[in-house]
Structure 1
Amino acid sequence: MSQDPWSRPTVEDLRQILESIGKPDVTNVRTHERLELSVPAEIKTGRGNTIAAMTREISRTGIGLLHRGAVSPGEMSVRMASETREFEYRVIIEWCQPCDNGMFMSGGRFLPGSDN
């Protein structure tokens, strides 16, 4: 049975992608520490399309995502939920690149005042 090309990647999909990339042998020179975060998310594009995604990492200023299908850079809404609260952020997706198994990784920065 073929998989829906727009279905949400699983935690196992994310683990396999991250293992295939490996950890770089360089010192992290980012201004803000990034934390690994693997939770279901939804990306709502400027055109109103909803794309199921999985978060990869998050920092105070941005987020990394894994999803099926490419997204164009630009302003989007990213929604995540915990057991007790839903979060929605306005994000500028700054890059999107293909990775293994027909999936894409993207990353962007949060716009001010976007957390509900």
Structure 2
Amino acid sequence: MEETPWSRPSIEDLKHVLESFGNSDAVNVREVDRLELSVPAEIKTSRGNIIPAMTREISRQGLGMLHKGMLNPGEVTVKLASETREFEYRVKIMWCTPCDNGMFISGGEFLTKPED
């Protein structure tokens, strides 16, 4: 399958990016614990563009993603799917920064409460 500039990052892409950050001695000052979560996602921007993504981590308050293409801060819709269910969340993208291989990592806060 031919890779396009907007194709979904693979698990290998995610591992490579996370390894490139290395082990940090920085103190974790996060208010909420995050869980590693690597599942396919789909980001729909306010303009209707669809960006394939891979999640990096999730918490009760938000999630981190890996994708190709810059996201501007603001509201998006993120779809995640399991084998039996599909989840859709409104998320406020708080930041987006470039990383290796033309990819970007981003983080956002849930605007709608995730289902339990």
Q: TM-score, normalised by structure 2?
A: 0.94
Q: How does 1:22-37 map to 2 (within 5 A)?
A: 22-37=22-37
Q: Provide closer, same or farther for how the CA distance between residues 48 and 22 of structure 1 changes in structure 2, counting only shifts above 3 A.
A: same
Question: Which sections of structure 1, spanning at least 5 residues, go unmatched?
Answer: none
C-alpha separation in 2, matches of 1:107 and 1:93: 6
SS of residue matched to 2:12: helix
Q: TM-score, normalised by structure 1?
A: 0.94
**C-alpha deviation, 1:113, in angstroms:** 3.9
Contact 2:60 2:114 in 1 (8 A): no
List runs of 5+ in structure 2 lacking aligned partners. none
**8 Å contact from structure 1 (residues 89, 115) kept in 2:** no
Give, in angstroms, the shift of residue 47 of structure 1: 0.3
- Structure 1 counterpart of 2:74: 74
| SS at 2:95 equivalent | strand
CA displacement, residues 21-76 of structure 1 (integer Å, 9 cap, x when unaligned): 11321222211100100000000000000000000000000100000011111000
* AA matched with 2:85: R
| Equivalent in the alignment of 1:43 | 43
Amino acid at match of 2:96: C
8 A contact 2:89–2:112 mirrored in 1: no
After superposition, what is the alpha-carbon deviation per residue over 1:60-107, rounded to whole angstroms, capped at 9, x for unaligned?
001000000111110000000001110000000011110000000000
